[in-house]
Homo-oligomer: A and B are copies of this chain.
Amino acid sequence: METQTLGTGHPTAKRPGNPTLEDLAVAAGVSRSTASRAINGGYKVSPQARAAVDRAVAALGYIPNQAARSLVTRRTSSIALVIPEPDVRVMMDPFFAIVITGISEALRETDMQLVLLMSRNDDDSSRALRYLRGGHVDGAIVVSHHKADSWAKSLAGTGLPIVFIGRPWDTSIDVTYVDTDNYEGGRLAAHHLASTGRKRLGTIAGPADMTVATDRLAGWTEGLREAGLQQGPVAHADFSTAGAQEAALRLLDDAPHLDAIFAASDLMALGVMNALIAKGYSVPDGVALVGYDNHAIAADTAVPLTTITQPIAAMAAKAAELLLQKLDDPAIQHPPFIYPAELTIRASTPPVP
Protein backbone atom coordinates (compact mmCIF):
# COMPACT_ATOMS: atom_id res chain seq x y z
CA MET A 1 0.00 0.00 0.00
CA GLU A 2 1.37 3.36 -0.96
CA THR A 3 0.64 6.50 0.91
CA GLN A 4 -2.00 7.59 -1.47
CA THR A 5 -4.70 8.50 0.95
CA LEU A 6 -2.99 11.25 2.79
CA GLY A 7 -1.42 12.79 -0.22
CA THR A 8 -4.44 14.27 -1.89
CA GLY A 9 -6.32 17.23 -0.63
CA HIS A 10 -7.31 17.19 2.98
CA PRO A 11 -10.99 17.26 3.85
CA THR A 12 -12.17 20.83 3.71
CA ALA A 13 -10.41 22.49 6.56
CA LYS A 14 -13.00 25.09 7.38
CA ARG A 15 -16.55 24.03 6.92
CA PRO A 16 -18.70 26.73 5.40
CA GLY A 17 -21.03 23.88 4.57
CA ASN A 18 -24.02 22.96 6.63
CA PRO A 19 -24.79 25.14 9.62
CA THR A 20 -24.32 23.49 12.96
CA LEU A 21 -26.62 23.44 15.93
CA GLU A 22 -24.41 26.09 17.44
CA ASP A 23 -25.02 28.39 14.47
CA LEU A 24 -28.69 27.69 14.77
CA ALA A 25 -28.72 28.58 18.43
CA VAL A 26 -26.92 31.84 17.82
CA ALA A 27 -29.26 32.75 15.00
CA ALA A 28 -32.26 31.98 17.15
CA GLY A 29 -30.82 33.75 20.17
CA VAL A 30 -31.01 30.73 22.42
CA SER A 31 -28.61 28.19 23.81
CA ARG A 32 -27.54 25.06 22.04
CA SER A 33 -29.53 23.00 24.52
CA THR A 34 -32.71 24.86 23.87
CA ALA A 35 -32.21 24.68 20.15
CA SER A 36 -31.71 20.95 20.42
CA ARG A 37 -34.87 20.55 22.44
CA ALA A 38 -36.86 22.69 20.07
CA ILE A 39 -35.77 20.54 17.19
CA ASN A 40 -36.56 17.29 18.92
CA GLY A 41 -40.21 17.69 19.66
CA GLY A 42 -39.98 20.85 21.70
CA TYR A 43 -40.44 19.35 25.12
CA LYS A 44 -39.88 22.00 27.76
CA VAL A 45 -39.39 24.78 25.30
CA SER A 46 -41.32 28.02 25.43
CA PRO A 47 -43.45 28.82 22.39
CA GLN A 48 -41.42 31.88 21.59
CA ALA A 49 -38.10 30.05 21.83
CA ARG A 50 -39.50 27.34 19.66
CA ALA A 51 -40.74 29.81 17.09
CA ALA A 52 -37.39 31.53 17.05
CA VAL A 53 -35.65 28.24 16.44
CA ASP A 54 -38.12 27.26 13.73
CA ARG A 55 -37.46 30.54 12.03
CA ALA A 56 -33.74 30.09 12.27
CA VAL A 57 -34.02 26.56 10.87
CA ALA A 58 -35.82 27.90 7.85
CA ALA A 59 -33.46 30.80 7.44
CA LEU A 60 -30.29 28.75 7.68
CA GLY A 61 -31.62 25.63 6.02
CA TYR A 62 -30.41 23.77 9.03
CA ILE A 63 -30.26 20.00 8.84
CA PRO A 64 -28.97 18.04 11.83
CA ASN A 65 -25.82 16.05 11.33
CA GLN A 66 -26.93 12.50 11.53
CA ALA A 67 -23.56 11.13 12.51
CA ALA A 68 -23.28 13.37 15.51
CA ARG A 69 -26.80 12.61 16.50
CA SER A 70 -26.50 8.88 16.30
CA LEU A 71 -23.18 8.95 18.05
CA VAL A 72 -24.97 9.96 21.18
CA THR A 73 -28.41 8.51 20.68
CA ARG A 74 -27.14 5.24 19.34
CA ARG A 75 -29.92 5.36 16.84
CA THR A 76 -29.45 5.67 13.12
CA SER A 77 -33.00 5.92 11.88
CA SER A 78 -32.42 3.32 9.29
CA ILE A 79 -32.98 -0.37 9.02
CA ALA A 80 -31.46 -2.87 6.67
CA LEU A 81 -33.13 -5.26 4.31
CA VAL A 82 -30.76 -8.16 3.97
CA ILE A 83 -31.01 -10.20 0.80
CA PRO A 84 -28.57 -13.06 0.82
CA GLU A 85 -28.91 -13.86 -2.85
CA PRO A 86 -25.97 -14.35 -5.13
CA ASP A 87 -27.69 -14.13 -8.43
CA VAL A 88 -29.10 -11.38 -10.56
CA ARG A 89 -31.93 -13.53 -11.77
CA VAL A 90 -33.25 -14.05 -8.32
CA MET A 91 -33.26 -10.34 -7.66
CA MET A 92 -35.55 -9.97 -10.59
CA ASP A 93 -38.19 -12.00 -8.91
CA PRO A 94 -41.08 -9.65 -8.29
CA PHE A 95 -41.17 -11.06 -4.83
CA PHE A 96 -38.35 -8.77 -3.81
CA ALA A 97 -39.85 -5.75 -5.46
CA ILE A 98 -43.04 -6.32 -3.55
CA VAL A 99 -41.20 -6.90 -0.33
CA ILE A 100 -39.32 -3.66 -0.78
CA THR A 101 -42.42 -1.69 -1.52
CA GLY A 102 -44.27 -3.34 1.35
CA ILE A 103 -41.57 -2.35 3.77
CA SER A 104 -41.34 1.14 2.35
CA GLU A 105 -45.03 1.49 2.83
CA ALA A 106 -44.78 0.54 6.48
CA LEU A 107 -41.92 2.96 6.95
CA ARG A 108 -43.65 5.86 5.29
CA GLU A 109 -44.92 7.55 8.38
CA THR A 110 -41.74 7.04 10.30
CA ASP A 111 -38.44 8.71 9.66
CA MET A 112 -36.84 5.36 9.06
CA GLN A 113 -34.92 4.71 5.93
CA LEU A 114 -34.40 1.41 4.23
CA VAL A 115 -30.90 0.26 3.48
CA LEU A 116 -30.53 -2.54 1.03
CA LEU A 117 -27.86 -5.04 1.86
CA MET A 118 -27.10 -7.68 -0.70
CA SER A 119 -24.56 -10.31 0.08
CA ARG A 120 -23.20 -12.70 -2.42
CA ASN A 121 -20.83 -15.05 -0.73
CA ASP A 122 -19.13 -15.78 2.53
CA ASP A 123 -16.76 -12.97 2.02
CA ASP A 124 -19.45 -10.42 1.47
CA SER A 125 -21.73 -11.83 3.98
CA SER A 126 -19.18 -11.12 6.64
CA ARG A 127 -18.87 -7.67 5.17
CA ALA A 128 -22.59 -7.28 5.46
CA LEU A 129 -22.34 -8.55 8.98
CA ARG A 130 -19.73 -5.95 9.76
CA TYR A 131 -22.02 -3.36 8.38
CA LEU A 132 -24.90 -4.50 10.51
CA ARG A 133 -22.77 -4.68 13.60
CA GLY A 134 -21.01 -1.40 12.90
CA GLY A 135 -23.95 0.52 14.20
CA HIS A 136 -25.05 1.49 10.76
CA VAL A 137 -28.63 0.43 11.26
CA ASP A 138 -31.00 0.02 14.14
CA GLY A 139 -32.33 -3.30 12.99
CA ALA A 140 -32.65 -5.62 10.06
CA ILE A 141 -35.13 -7.58 8.06
CA VAL A 142 -33.77 -10.73 6.48
CA VAL A 143 -35.48 -12.19 3.47
CA SER A 144 -34.76 -15.19 1.29
CA HIS A 145 -32.86 -16.88 4.02
CA HIS A 146 -30.97 -20.04 3.10
CA LYS A 147 -30.04 -22.90 5.31
CA ALA A 148 -26.34 -22.20 5.13
CA ASP A 149 -26.74 -18.56 6.00
CA SER A 150 -25.81 -17.96 9.55
CA TRP A 151 -27.60 -14.69 9.97
CA ALA A 152 -29.72 -15.84 12.80
CA LYS A 153 -26.87 -17.10 14.87
CA SER A 154 -24.44 -14.36 13.98
CA LEU A 155 -26.86 -11.59 14.63
CA ALA A 156 -28.50 -12.98 17.70
CA GLY A 157 -25.31 -12.32 19.61
CA THR A 158 -25.17 -8.70 18.62
CA GLY A 159 -28.48 -7.77 20.11
CA LEU A 160 -29.46 -6.20 16.82
CA PRO A 161 -33.22 -6.42 16.48
CA ILE A 162 -34.02 -8.60 13.52
CA VAL A 163 -37.11 -9.92 11.81
CA PHE A 164 -37.18 -12.64 9.21
CA ILE A 165 -39.46 -12.76 6.25
CA GLY A 166 -40.00 -16.43 5.76
CA ARG A 167 -39.39 -18.86 8.58
CA PRO A 168 -35.68 -19.27 9.25
CA TRP A 169 -34.22 -22.70 9.66
CA ASP A 170 -33.07 -22.25 13.14
CA THR A 171 -35.99 -21.32 15.31
CA SER A 172 -34.39 -22.63 18.45
CA ILE A 173 -33.11 -19.24 19.41
CA ASP A 174 -35.71 -16.59 19.79
CA VAL A 175 -36.35 -15.25 16.32
CA THR A 176 -39.20 -13.16 15.08
CA TYR A 177 -40.57 -13.96 11.69
CA VAL A 178 -43.52 -13.49 9.43
CA ASP A 179 -44.45 -15.89 6.71
CA THR A 180 -47.28 -17.07 4.56
CA ASP A 181 -48.74 -20.48 4.97
CA ASN A 182 -46.60 -22.25 2.43
CA TYR A 183 -47.60 -25.66 3.62
CA GLU A 184 -51.24 -24.86 3.04
CA GLY A 185 -50.37 -23.35 -0.33
CA GLY A 186 -48.79 -26.59 -1.46
CA ARG A 187 -51.75 -28.50 -0.14
CA LEU A 188 -54.21 -26.27 -2.00
CA ALA A 189 -52.36 -26.84 -5.23
CA ALA A 190 -52.50 -30.61 -4.81
CA HIS A 191 -56.17 -30.65 -3.87
CA HIS A 192 -57.14 -28.36 -6.70
CA LEU A 193 -55.35 -30.43 -9.31
CA ALA A 194 -56.82 -33.60 -7.87
CA SER A 195 -60.26 -32.06 -8.04
CA THR A 196 -59.85 -31.42 -11.76
CA GLY A 197 -59.38 -35.11 -12.23
CA ARG A 198 -55.62 -35.16 -12.70
CA LYS A 199 -53.88 -38.29 -11.52
CA ARG A 200 -50.20 -38.09 -12.32
CA LEU A 201 -48.87 -35.01 -10.62
CA GLY A 202 -45.31 -33.72 -10.49
CA THR A 203 -43.79 -30.63 -8.96
CA ILE A 204 -40.95 -28.24 -9.48
CA ALA A 205 -40.03 -27.24 -5.98
CA GLY A 206 -37.84 -24.38 -4.86
CA PRO A 207 -34.34 -24.75 -3.44
CA ALA A 208 -34.17 -27.47 -0.83
CA ASP A 209 -32.30 -25.13 1.48
CA MET A 210 -35.16 -22.70 1.89
CA THR A 211 -38.04 -23.32 4.26
CA VAL A 212 -40.45 -21.63 1.91
CA ALA A 213 -39.65 -24.31 -0.66
CA THR A 214 -39.65 -27.28 1.65
CA ASP A 215 -42.90 -26.19 3.26
CA ARG A 216 -44.66 -25.92 -0.06
CA LEU A 217 -43.33 -29.30 -1.01
CA ALA A 218 -44.40 -30.83 2.27
CA GLY A 219 -47.89 -29.41 1.87
CA TRP A 220 -48.03 -30.66 -1.68
CA THR A 221 -46.97 -34.13 -0.62
CA GLU A 222 -49.56 -34.23 2.12
CA GLY A 223 -52.21 -32.93 -0.26
CA LEU A 224 -51.48 -35.74 -2.68
CA ARG A 225 -51.74 -38.25 0.13
CA GLU A 226 -55.04 -36.81 1.32
CA ALA A 227 -56.38 -36.95 -2.24
CA GLY A 228 -55.42 -40.58 -2.45
CA LEU A 229 -52.96 -39.98 -5.23
CA GLN A 230 -49.55 -41.48 -5.40
CA GLN A 231 -46.51 -39.35 -4.80
CA GLY A 232 -45.26 -37.92 -8.09
CA PRO A 233 -41.80 -36.87 -9.16
CA VAL A 234 -40.11 -33.85 -7.65
CA ALA A 235 -37.39 -31.63 -9.10
CA HIS A 236 -35.80 -28.66 -7.43
CA ALA A 237 -34.98 -25.36 -9.07
CA ASP A 238 -33.84 -21.95 -7.92
CA PHE A 239 -37.07 -19.99 -8.32
CA SER A 240 -35.93 -18.67 -11.69
CA THR A 241 -37.63 -19.23 -15.01
CA ALA A 242 -34.54 -20.63 -16.67
CA GLY A 243 -33.75 -22.91 -13.77
CA ALA A 244 -37.28 -24.25 -13.70
CA GLN A 245 -37.29 -24.83 -17.43
CA GLU A 246 -34.26 -27.00 -17.16
CA ALA A 247 -35.62 -28.82 -14.14
CA ALA A 248 -38.90 -29.44 -15.93
CA LEU A 249 -37.10 -30.99 -18.87
CA ARG A 250 -35.40 -33.40 -16.50
CA LEU A 251 -38.65 -34.10 -14.74
CA LEU A 252 -40.40 -34.88 -18.00
CA ASP A 253 -37.60 -37.15 -19.08
CA ASP A 254 -38.08 -39.15 -15.92
CA ALA A 255 -41.86 -39.02 -15.91
CA PRO A 256 -43.23 -38.38 -19.37
CA HIS A 257 -46.81 -39.23 -18.50
CA LEU A 258 -47.56 -36.43 -16.09
CA ASP A 259 -50.88 -34.70 -16.49
CA ALA A 260 -50.21 -31.84 -14.07
CA ILE A 261 -47.30 -29.90 -12.66
CA PHE A 262 -47.13 -27.62 -9.66
CA ALA A 263 -44.39 -25.02 -9.82
CA ALA A 264 -43.45 -23.31 -6.58
CA SER A 265 -43.43 -19.87 -8.17
CA ASP A 266 -45.05 -18.18 -11.14
CA LEU A 267 -41.71 -17.43 -12.68
CA MET A 268 -40.90 -21.10 -12.47
CA ALA A 269 -44.29 -21.97 -13.91
CA LEU A 270 -43.31 -19.94 -16.94
CA GLY A 271 -40.21 -22.04 -17.30
CA VAL A 272 -42.26 -25.19 -16.95
CA MET A 273 -44.63 -23.97 -19.62
CA ASN A 274 -41.72 -23.34 -21.95
CA ALA A 275 -40.39 -26.82 -21.28
CA LEU A 276 -43.79 -28.41 -21.88
CA ILE A 277 -44.24 -26.61 -25.15
CA ALA A 278 -40.71 -27.44 -26.23
CA LYS A 279 -41.43 -31.09 -25.53
CA GLY A 280 -44.65 -30.97 -27.46
CA TYR A 281 -47.10 -31.29 -24.60
CA SER A 282 -50.33 -29.41 -24.87
CA VAL A 283 -51.06 -26.94 -22.09
CA PRO A 284 -53.42 -26.95 -20.29
CA ASP A 285 -55.37 -29.86 -21.72
CA GLY A 286 -52.51 -32.31 -21.82
CA VAL A 287 -50.72 -31.04 -18.74
CA ALA A 288 -52.30 -28.67 -16.25
CA LEU A 289 -50.13 -26.13 -14.45
CA VAL A 290 -50.28 -24.38 -11.11
CA GLY A 291 -47.93 -21.58 -10.11
CA TYR A 292 -47.33 -19.73 -6.89
CA ASP A 293 -47.33 -16.01 -5.96
CA ASN A 294 -50.00 -14.66 -8.26
CA HIS A 295 -47.46 -12.43 -9.85
CA ALA A 296 -48.90 -9.88 -12.27
CA ILE A 297 -47.55 -11.93 -15.12
CA ALA A 298 -49.53 -14.99 -14.11
CA ALA A 299 -52.72 -13.51 -15.49
CA ASP A 300 -51.09 -12.40 -18.71
CA THR A 301 -49.46 -15.54 -19.98
CA ALA A 302 -50.68 -17.22 -23.13
CA VAL A 303 -52.58 -19.60 -20.88
CA PRO A 304 -53.52 -17.63 -17.77
CA LEU A 305 -52.07 -19.36 -14.77
CA THR A 306 -53.84 -20.91 -11.84
CA THR A 307 -51.73 -19.94 -8.88
CA ILE A 308 -51.50 -19.60 -5.13
CA THR A 309 -52.00 -16.04 -3.99
CA GLN A 310 -50.12 -14.82 -0.96
CA PRO A 311 -50.11 -11.34 0.58
CA ILE A 312 -46.45 -10.60 0.14
CA ALA A 313 -46.74 -6.85 0.55
CA ALA A 314 -48.77 -7.21 3.71
CA MET A 315 -46.30 -9.69 5.06
CA ALA A 316 -43.38 -7.40 4.34
CA ALA A 317 -45.18 -4.47 5.90
CA LYS A 318 -45.89 -6.59 8.94
CA ALA A 319 -42.24 -7.50 9.22
CA ALA A 320 -41.34 -3.83 9.21
CA GLU A 321 -43.98 -3.10 11.78
CA LEU A 322 -42.74 -5.82 14.10
CA LEU A 323 -39.22 -4.55 13.69
CA LEU A 324 -40.29 -1.05 14.62
CA GLN A 325 -41.90 -2.44 17.73
CA LYS A 326 -38.70 -4.23 18.60
CA LEU A 327 -36.74 -1.06 18.18
CA ASP A 328 -39.10 0.53 20.61
CA ASP A 329 -38.85 -2.28 23.08
CA PRO A 330 -36.05 -4.75 22.49
CA ALA A 331 -37.45 -7.11 25.07
CA ILE A 332 -40.70 -7.63 23.24
CA GLN A 333 -41.47 -11.13 22.06
CA HIS A 334 -43.40 -11.73 18.89
CA PRO A 335 -45.00 -14.99 17.96
CA PRO A 336 -44.64 -15.91 14.30
CA PHE A 337 -47.11 -14.15 12.09
CA ILE A 338 -48.47 -16.39 9.36
CA TYR A 339 -50.57 -15.13 6.48
CA PRO A 340 -52.94 -17.44 4.64
CA ALA A 341 -52.43 -18.69 1.11
CA GLU A 342 -55.31 -18.97 -1.24
CA LEU A 343 -56.04 -20.51 -4.56
CA THR A 344 -56.63 -18.37 -7.64
CA ILE A 345 -58.07 -20.42 -10.44
CA ARG A 346 -57.41 -19.55 -14.07
CA ALA A 347 -57.28 -21.33 -17.38
CA SER A 348 -54.20 -23.43 -16.80
CA THR A 349 -56.07 -26.03 -14.78
CA PRO A 350 -59.23 -27.05 -16.62
CA PRO A 351 -61.07 -30.20 -15.57
CA VAL A 352 -59.94 -33.28 -17.40
CA PRO A 353 -62.02 -33.60 -20.56
Contacts and interface: CB of A to CB of B under 8 A. Distances in A.
Contact of A88 (B9, B43, B97): B97
A43 B134 CA distance: 23
A63 interface: yes
A283 B98 CA distance: 31
Given A66-B135, A131-B113, A1 B41 contact: yes
B136 A113 contact: yes
B101 A124 contact: no
Nearest to A295: B92
Among A120, A135, A270, the most chain B Cβ lie within 10 Å of the Cβ of A135
Interface string A63-78: 1111110110110101
Given A71-B71, A97-B96, A113 B117 contact: yes
Contacts of A170: none
A11 to B, nearest CB: 6
Contacts of A328: 8
B274 A241 contact: no
Contact of A115 (B9, B115, B173): B115
- Sort A-B residue pairs by CB-CB distance and give the 5 closest, nearest first: A302-B302, A116-B116, A67-B71, A67-B70, A92-B97
Given A88-B98, A159-B12, A302-B302, A65 B135 contact: yes
Interface of A (DSSP majority class): mixed
A343 B193 CA distance: 42
A81 B116 CA distance: 10
A296 B92 contact: yes
Contacts of A131: 113
Contacts of A5: 41, 43
Contacts of A114: 115-118
A48 interface: no
B91 A97 contact: yes
Contacts of A113: 115, 117, 131, 136
Contacts of A68: 67, 71
